[in-house]
Amino acid sequence: MTLFYPLLFTPKLKNYVWGGRNLERLYGRELPDGITAESWEIAGHEDGTTRVSNGPYAGVWLTELQAEWGLDLIGTQARWAYERGKFPLLIKLLDAQENLSVQVHPDDAYALAHEGNELGKTEMWVVLHAEPDAAVILGVKSGTTPEQFRQAIAEDRPEPFLHRLPVQAGDVVCVPAGSLHAILGGLVLAEIQQNSNTTYRVYDWGRPRPLHIEKALQVINFEQVAPVLTRPQPTSHAPGISKATLCQNRYFITERLEMAAGARYEGECRGRTLEIWGTISGAAVVTGGGQTVSLPAIQFTLLPAQLGDYTITATHSTTLLRTYLP
Catalytic residues: 201
- The span from the CA of 86 to the CA of 102, in Å, is 27
Give the residue from 42, 1, 34 showing the smallest Cα distance to 18. Answer: 34
Give the residue from 34, 33, 38, 47 showing the smallest Cα distance to 14. Answer: 38
Give 47-59 as a DSSP string: TEEPEE-SSTTTT
Facing residues of 301 across strands? 277
Facing residues of 292 across strands? 287
Give the residue from 151, 117, 43, 145 showing the smallest Cα distance to 87. Answer: 43
CB 323 within 8 A of CB 252: yes
* Pairing outcome for strands 200-203 and 291-296: unpaired
Indicate the SS3 state at residue 178. coil
- The span from the CA of 9 to the CA of 300, in Å, is 8
| Residues in CB range of 66: below 8 A, 6 or more apart | 44, 73, 74, 82, 87
Give the residue from 33, 97, 93, 86 showing the smallest Cα distance to 63. Answer: 86
